[in-house]
Structure 1
Amino acid sequence: MPEYGCWLDLPSPQVAEIMAHVGFDFIVVDLEHGPASVETAQLQMMAIGARARPIVRVPEGTEGWVKRVLDAGAGGVMVPKVESAAQAADIVSWAFYAPKGQRGEARGIVRASSWGRNFEAYKTKWNADGFIWIQIESVAGLENIEEIAAVEGVTQLFFGSADYSADAGVSTDSEETLAAASKVAAVAKAHGLHAGSVLFPQGTPQSLAKLGFTHISVASDVSALRDVLDGSLRDAKG
C-alpha cells in the first residue's frame, strides 16, 4: 500500500496545519519553488507535528541547505535534479552524522534534537533510518540512475515528471515520460529503495501504485485552493 502525500508551497503554518489534519502520510514543504524561508518552514513543521512526516525540498543540493532544514526538524530532505552518483554521495555525507557522514553536531541549539535534550537518541535514529529523497528529473539523471541508486544512504528516488519532460523535449502525457517513470520505479525496487512521484497525465494514483511507486503526492495547497475557488465562482454564476 503506497503512502500518499501533498505539496505545500504557500508559506503558511496555518495551511500546513490544515493539510496535516487531512490524514496525509507525508507533506513536502517546498523551498525550491515556494517562497518560504527556513524559519517559516520550521514553523510549518511545528504546525504539522506528528500527524504527517514533513519532507523539505531544498532549492539546491548544497551542504548548507541540507544541514539547515534537517537541523530545523525535517523528517527527510528532498534534493532536486540529482544527475550523478557523486552528487548523491555528497548529499548523503551532508545529511548523516559520523561515521556515516559529516553532518555538524550542533547538539544543543537545533530543533531536530529537541533543543539538545535528546541529541544522542536523535543521532542514532536518524543515522539508522533518515529519509534522503533524490529527485530524478532530467535525461542525465535517468541515464545515471543505476549508479545514483547504488549510493549507500539514498532511501528514495523521486520522479519529477514536469522537469524530466521539459528536459527530454516531450510532453508530460507522452509514452517517453511514462517509460521514464517506470524505469525510476523499477530501479528503486531493484535497489531496495522507495520510489516517489507527483501525479501527471498518465501517472494517476492507481497507475503509479501499479508501477511500484511507494510514495505518491496527490494534491497541493495552491491547486486545491485555486480549483475550489474557481469552482465556487463558476457554480455561483451558473
Structure 2
Amino acid sequence: MSNPLKEKLAAGGCIGCHWATLGSPSVAELLAESEPDCILFDMQHGLWDRASLEYAIGLVRHKTIPAVRSVDASDYAIGHVLDAGARALIVPMVDTAEQARAVVRAAKYPPMGGRSGGGTRPMLDYKSYIPNANDDIVVAVMIETATAVANAAEIAAVPGIDMLFVGPFDLAMSIGTFPDFGPKHEAAVQSVLTAAKAAGKTCGIFTPYASFAADRRAQGFQWVVLAYDQALIQEPAKGAVKHARTGTGPDLVKDAVALVSGANGGIGSEIARALLRAGAAKIYCGARHVDSLRLLTAVAPDKLVPVQLDVTDPASVAAAAGACPDVSLLINNAGWNSNEGVFSGNGLDNARREMETNYLGTLALSRAFQPILAKNGGGGLANLISVVAHSNVPLMATYAASKAALLSLTQALRAELRKQGTHVMGVLPGAVDTPMTPGFEGMKMRPQQVAEALIQGLRARMEDIYPGGMASGVFNGVALDAKAIEGDFANYLPAETTVRAKA
C-alpha cells in the first residue's frame, strides 16, 4: 500500500484538492471526474454523515485519494473518518503540541498510538491495511488561532504530524483582522509556513479559488484547494442570473436616431436594416466612402442617411459629430481583421491597424458622441466586439487582442456613461459569415442574426449579449474552463505559423 499523496509531498510537490462540503456523493463523484490529487470531505462544517461519507468515498476512491477533515480532535471523530477510508486526515483547531500528540495517538494503530481496529473499509483487507496504515495515512493539524500560531514550531515538531494546515478564515477572526486579512494576517500565515519547514514538515492552506492556490503554491505551500463544491454551484448560478438580467426604461430603438459606423459592411448594413424595421426614426449610415452606401440607403432614402466617417481620422470623426447632433443611439460597428497570425510578415502593421480601428476608433467615436447622447437624454451605445475577446484565436491573433481591449473599454464606458443615463451594451458574436472571416472553417452565423440579437438586447437593456451557438458556448466554456477553450482555439493556427514550425 503506497499513498500517492505522501509520495508527492516527499518529492516536494504540491497537492491540489477539491473541497467537498455539501454532503452529496453525486457531487463528489462529479468532482472526482477531474482527477484532482484528492478530494477533501469536510465533516466539521460540511453536511456529511457517516453513511454519506462512506458512500462518497466508495464512489471516488478509484479516481482520486479521499481525505477528510474530522469534526474535531476526539478519538471517536478521528477513528470515524479513517475507518470510512480516508487516506489523509486534517484535524481542526489544534492549538498545542499536547493536542497534536493526542491526534497522533488517535490516528495511529499500536504501538505508535491507540487507534481501535475495525471499520468496513479497513476490514476489506485488514491483514494488509493495519500493518501499513500508520505510514500510509497523511496526518495534518489545522493552525487557525493566535495560540496555534504561537505554538506552531512545537506542534510541527511532534512525531507523527506530517503537515500544518492553515485555516485562514478562523485565523483572521482569532487575530482580529476578519473580514479583511492584510499584513498582520499574512505575517501569521508565513510564520506557520516557516515553522513547518524548520521542522522538516509540509504546510498546507485553504485557498478559495485556483488562482489563489497557484500563488500559495509558489510561496511553498504543499497542499492547496483548487475548487470548493458550494462555490462551484453558487457562483455560476449567481453569474447566470446577472448575465440574463434585463433592465427597464424607455425603448432605446423605437423612434431613436441612430448612427451605425461601418454601415457598408455585412453586419453594419444588416444593423441599419434591423433598426429600420424596429421603428428607428433615422439611421445615419457611416462609411469611409459614401458611394459604398448607395444600395443600402436606397432602401429608405428618407430614413437612411449616408455619412462620411473614418473612425481612424479625427477630422472625420469630428465632422460626423457635427453633422449628426440628434443621435440618441450610437452603434460602434466599424472594424478590421487582418486574418493573420502574430508572426506574419505584416504582423506589427496589422496589429496597429486593428488597434487603430477596433479599439482607438471606437474610443474616438464614443468620446465625440458622449455629449450628444447626454444632450439627447442618454440613449444607448452598443459596441460590436467578438467572443474572441475572451480567448484568442491564433488564426486572427492581433484582431482578437484588439477585441479584448475593446471589451475592457466597453466596461469603462459603461461605468462612466451610467451617470448620464446612457445604456452601454457589448455585442460578442462568434464567427459571422462575412468577408472578415475567410479562413475560419467553424460554425458561422448570418449577419442578420447578429443584427436582430442587437435589437433585442437593446430593447431588453442587457449589458452583454452573445449571439449564436458558438459565442454562447465559448462564453460558458471560458467561465467553466478557460484553459480548455484556449486549447481548442489554439488548433486554429495561421498557415505561416505552421510552415515556419515545420522549417
TM-score by length of 1: 0.92
Match of 2:163 in 1: 156
Match of 2:226 in 1: 218
Q: C-alpha deviations, 1:169-196, integer Å up to 9, x for none?
A: 0134311111122112222122222211
Match of 1:140 in 2: 147
Flag the structure with larger Rg: 2
RMSD over aligned Cα, in angstroms? 1.6
Match of 2:198 in 1: 190
Following the alignment from structure 1 to structure 2, what is the Cα–Cα distance between the partners of residues 188 and 113?
34
- Per the TM alignment, residue 120 of structure 1 is displaced from its structure 2 partner at its CA by 2.6
Verify: 1:113 aligned to 2:123, yes or no.
yes
- Could you say what secondary structure the match of 2:33 adopts? helix
- Per the TM alignment, residue 48 of structure 1 is displaced from its structure 2 partner at its CA by 1.1
- Could you say what secondary structure the match of 1:195 adopts? strand
Contact 1:10–1:36 (8 Å) recurs in 2? yes
Q: How does 1:70-89 map to 2 (within 5 A)?
A: 70-89=82-101
- Could you say what secondary structure the match of 1:204 adopts? helix
Counting matched residue pairs gives 232
Match of 1:124 among 121, 131, 134: 131
Following the alignment from structure 1 to structure 2, what is the Cα–Cα distance between the partners of residues 220 and 200?
7
What letter corresponds to residue 130 of structure 2 in structure 1?
K
- Per the TM alignment, residue 206 of structure 1 is displaced from its structure 2 partner at its CA by 3.0
Following the alignment from structure 1 to structure 2, what is the Cα–Cα distance between the partners of residues 149 and 98?
22
Contact 1:58–1:77 (8 Å) recurs in 2? yes
Contact 1:198–1:218 (8 Å) recurs in 2? no
Unaligned runs of 5+ in 1: none
Match of 1:43 in 2: 55
Match of 1:179 among 177, 180, 187: 187
Contact 2:23–2:47 (8 Å) recurs in 1? yes
- Per the TM alignment, residue 207 of structure 1 is displaced from its structure 2 partner at its CA by 2.6
Following the alignment from structure 2 to structure 1, what is the Cα–Cα distance between the partners of residues 136 and 201?
12
- Percent of aligned pairs sharing the same letter: 28
Q: C-alpha deviations, 1:103-149, integer Å up to 9, x for none?
A: 1122xx521332xxx21321222112321110000000011111111
- Shifted more, 94-103 versus 181-190: the winner is 181-190
Match of 1:93 in 2: 105
Q: Which has the higher contact order (CA 8 A, sep 6+)?
A: 1
Moved over 4 A (4+): none
Unaligned runs of 5+ in 2: 1-12, 246-461, 463-503
- Per the TM alignment, residue 27 of structure 1 is displaced from its structure 2 partner at its CA by 1.3
Following the alignment from structure 2 to structure 1, what is the Cα–Cα distance between the partners of residues 140 and 92?
9
Match of 1:10 in 2: 22
What letter corresponds to residue 25 of structure 2 in structure 1?
P
TM-score by length of 2: 0.45
Contact 1:88–1:148 (8 Å) recurs in 2? yes
Contact 2:144–2:166 (8 Å) recurs in 1? yes
Contact 1:93–1:102 (8 Å) recurs in 2? yes
Contact 2:96–2:148 (8 Å) recurs in 1? yes
- Per the TM alignment, residue 200 of structure 1 is displaced from its structure 2 partner at its CA by 6.0
What letter corresponds to residue 85 of structure 2 in structure 1?
G
Contact 2:19–2:40 (8 Å) recurs in 1? yes
Match of 2:173 in 1: 166
Distance change in 2, residues 1:99/1:72 (3 Å) = same
